[in-house]
Every structure is written in structure tokens, then in C-alpha cells.
Chains A and B, each alone.
Chain A
Amino acid sequence: MKTTAIKVILIYLFLLILISIILTPFLWLTSMSFKLRSEMFSYPPTFIPKKFTLLNYINTIKDILFVKSYRNSLIISLSDVLFGLIVCSLAGFAFAKYDFRFKSIFFSIVLVSMMIPFHVVVIPLYLEMKRFGLIDTYFGVIFPFLAKAFGVFFMRQFLVKIPDELLEAARIDGASEYFIWLRIIVPLSKPAFGVLACLFFVENWNMLLWPMIVLQSQTKQTIQVYLQSLIGVYRIDYGILMAGSCLAILPIFVLFLAMQKQIIYGLTAGAVKE
């Protein structure tokens, strides 16, 4: 018994040290955001600011470009979630509840598409967007990522469990397939939508490469692109950078805290059964 107790304590200790290391960046970021510029780079560094200040946050909120880019990120990420859910739920429904010619080929294409790394298509995509005139538009940022294979796969797994009799009964009552989707499938999909919405939102909110390439105007930038532009070679406004970064990760943090279980379920549900 004694050796087990020692083992447990050692494990706790190990985990505690590990977590302290892991959380350091977060704590440091928060601490920096409340420091005055003069204290930010003082040595030895301090975790708890000697002079606590809200100045950085005030400046950040006053920064028009910051506010605009925050708004842009919200618009783009929420649109991505909305359209993505529609596309995935339609396709997932088809694969779950219908039999049609070439169904398995189509589904294989969905699975294979998950293996195409983005960097392979980024250049042609950019050129395509130029051709379509979608450079520097929100649509240009959203469109390429709406074909969410993972989402289709996930919706399919979820919708397969819905009893066929339910759909049959609706058809007998004269419902069209579209009506079935809109009025039966969609309401029933709420839990799955919750999971996917979280995953889609987080992934989209954190994107850097594609928005950076597509969006040219300063006023259309997303928050990540804007923050990245602040890490310039010349005068870096650390106050806005720190406070802005905190505000930028806040929605994700809150979302994650609230929907932890769903997000984790969504991520791992596919992997274990395979």
C-alpha cells in the first residue's frame, strides 16, 4: 500500500510540474497584457506586474484596425460555421440514409480528400481566386474550406442512427426529401451541430495562411492576420500585441471551457472505431 501511495504522489507531482510548464505561455501572455511597456522587458522578469495597468486593453479597443479585424474574424468564422454545417448535414444525410449509384465511390472521395494537405493546393487556389475576382473578399476566404470532409463523415456517423421508419412515415405523409432534411434531420442534428460548430469555429478563427494570402486590404484582415502584422520588423506595439492577443484567444478559450466535452467527443469519435 505504501508504494502505491508514493507512486500516486509522484504522479501528481509530475503532472503538476508538467502543467505549470504547459500553462506558462498563457499565464505569461496574460501577465504581459497588464504590464506597462517599461516593465515588459525588465529583468528579472516578473509574473505579477509591479504596476498593474489596463492601458494596453484601452489602447487595443481604441485601435480601429483591431476592432475591424475582430469583427471580420467573427463574420468569417460564423459564416464558415453556418455554411459548413449546411453542406455537411446535406451530404452526411445523403450518405447516411440513401442508396444511390456510385455512392461508395463518392464516399471514398470524401475520405481521400481529407488526405490532401492544404499547401499542395494553396497556390492554384490563390490563382483561381484571382481569376474569379474573389481576392480580398470574405467569400474568397470561406469557400475553399467549406468542403469539410470531416464534417460530412461525422454527420454521416451521427445520422445513420436515426430510425428509417421515421423518414418512411414522413414520406408516406407526403413529405418531400428536402422537407425531410429541413424539418426532421436538421432539428435532430442539434447535438452534432454543436460539436461541429465548435470545431469549425476554432479551426477557422485560428487560421493564418489562407486569410493572409487572400485578404489584401487592411480593413478586411482577420484578427490573426492583424496580430501577425503587428510582429513587424520595426517598431512593435507590444501593448496592443499582448492585450490584443489575449482578446483574440478569449472567445476560443471560453468556447472551449463551455463545450469541452463536445469538442473532445467530436475529435476522437472517428478515430477509435476505425
Chain B
Amino acid sequence: MTIRNRMAPYLFIAPFFILFFLFWFWPVLFSIFLSNTDWSGVGKPEFNNLRNFVNLINDSVFHITVRNTLYIAVASILIIAPLALLLAILLNNRLIKFSDAIRLAIFLPVVMSLVVASMIFLNLLDYNAGILKYWLGLIGLKMPDLLSSEKLSMPTLIGILIWRWTGYNMLFFLAGLQSIPKDVLEAAKIDGANNFQTFIYVTFPMLKPVTIFVIVQSLIGAFQVFEEPLIITGGGPAYSSLTMALYLYNRAFRNLRFGYASAVALIQFVLILLLSIFALKVTGAFKKE
């Protein structure tokens, strides 16, 4: 390759890396620094040598947020992913005109802004006049007060997350299913496998990269759930629907405790990394095929 200008590639990647360094790399470093201080945004930050982390260990509200966030992560993997896979299988097999439309409908929640979606759910789930109450009434059930109940606020939140993300994950599984060569499936049929066996021994193993991707993405996403609890439940009642991300936001921008919030952010980051590595190991991403 004859390139006269040897600097060209460096100049081309420069915009990205300058932006990255300024707005992602440096902030991460600064975040680590901040997490060891007390700071309210004015004046100088005061070093407090890991006191934030010690306080975090004893912070019972923080424990609740960790529990809630893990709750979401687990639900994503055990409910959303399988449901997405199931829908992908259903849509992949029936070669009907409608599969495009159905796929569109299931995916639609993803493009609706979180603000609007949350607002609408606030409305639908309203204890007094929400349509859910009406429907439950039709089949003879009494409407529980979903948003003011400590026990039910989290399941409700998870229900909303299922509504939102199943379609998104379904798309990835669909793409994965469609990339499986037909001859492999036919070979299995010829060898005498029925549909179920074909799925378990042929299809599912071939979906491994997609499955890994979906799981890791879901984990990372679970830790970032912010808008829904902010708008729908405010984290309550009694912190029952408070996620880590919302807790971080409150501590930083409502309580103006930037140091403490940075400590939370750091823990969040570490947890995501650990969980992602764990998920990758468990699903065998590091094994050679």
C-alpha cells in the first residue's frame, strides 16, 4: 500500500479518541478519585480515604438497591431472554406475511421514549381509574395497588421492563436463528431427530454467540434502569423499587453528595464487569470450539 501521508490514519481516529479521552476515559479516572472524597460541588473535595466505601457497606438503603438491581438482572435472564427466544422461534417458523408486522409490533416498545412509556404506565396502572383495574374487574379480580405496595412495586417494574425489552432481544435471536444454515437442520431431520431434539442439540448450540450477547447486554442494562423507577414509582415505597442507577442519581444530584455517589458508580462498574465475565465463562465464550 503506497500511502504518502503516514499520519492520515492517526488523524482519522483522532476525533473519536480525543472525544473518548475527554469524555469517557478521564471521567472514569476522575470518578475513581471522587469516590474517595466528600464533595458537594462547591469548594474543594475533601479526601476521606475509603470512608465512602465503608459507609456503603453499612448503608442499608444501598443494600436494598443492590438487591433490587440483581432482581432485575435475574429477571432479565430468566424471563425476558427465554420469552424473546420463544417468540423468535415462533416468528421464524411460520412463514407468513404477518411475521414482519408482528415483529414490528413486538419491537415497538423499544423505540418509545422512556419518559412517555413511564407516563403511560403510571396512567394504566392507576389504582382508581386505570384500565388494568377495569380488565381485572372484568375477569373478577380485584385491582391491587401496584405502585404503592412494597411487595408489588418491583414485580410491576419488572413487568414493564419485560414489555419494553423482550422485542429487542427477540430481534437478536431471530437474526441468530436465520443465520443457521438450512442444511444443518435438514441433516438433523434426516438423522431422525424430531423438532424438540433438533432444537436442543443443533439449534440452541448454534445460537451460543447470540445468547451470550443477549445475556451480557441484559446484565449491563439491568444496572442502568433509571427512568422507569424515577417516573413511575420514585423508587418507593420504602425503597422497594429503588435501583442502583436511581440511587446514584439521587445521591449525586438531589443530595449533592458527589463523592459518595461516585463510590456507588464505581461499585456498579465493578459489578457489571464481574457479572459479564461470569456470564461469559458460564456460557462458554472462552472455550475453544
Contacts and interface: CB of A to CB of B under 8 A. Distances in A.
A25 B124 contact: yes
Interface in B89-120: 90, 94, 100, 102-109, 111-117, 119-120
Nearest to A121: B27
B35 to A, nearest CB: 9
Contacts of B103: 264
B122 interface: yes
A81 interface: no
B8 interface: yes
B23 A121 contact: yes
Interface in A122-180: 122-128, 143-144, 146-147, 149, 152, 164, 168, 171-172, 176-178
A263 B176 CA distance: 16
Contacts of A208: 113-115, 227
B192 interface: no
Nearest to A118: B224
A215 interface: no
A22 B19 contact: no
B119 A19 contact: no
* B-side interface size class: 35 or more
B105 A23 contact: yes
B3 A147 contact: no
B120 A245 contact: yes
Contacts, number: 265
Interface stretch (A60-68, A95-103, A186-194): A95-103
A41 interface: yes
B204 interface: no
Contact of A209 (B10, B214, B249): B249
- Where chain B touches its partner, the secondary structure class is helix
B23 A41 contact: no
Contact of B23 (A106, A127, A143): A143
Interface string B115-153: 111011111101011110110000000000000000000
A119 B23 contact: no
Q: Interface range on chain A: under 10, 10 to 19, 20 to 34, or 35 or more? A: 35 or more
Contacts of B10: 94, 100
Given A176-B5, A202-B111, A268 B16 contact: no
B265 A91 contact: no
B31 interface: yes
A187 B238 CA distance: 56
B205 interface: no
B210 A86 contact: no
Contacts of B17: 91, 106, 109, 147
Interface string B19-38: 11011111110110010000
Given A26-B112, A209-B249, A120 B269 contact: yes
Given A120-B31, A147-B20, A231-B122, 18 more contacts: A22-B109, A28-B120, A41-B129, A91-B15, A93-B12, A94-B13, A103-B9, A110-B20, A116-B24, A121-B31, A123-B34, A123-B258, A124-B34, A125-B23, A176-B4, A181-B12, A245-B119, A271-B172
8 contacts: A22-B109, A43-B128, A43-B129, A109-B20, A115-B273, A122-B252, A127-B30, A128-B30
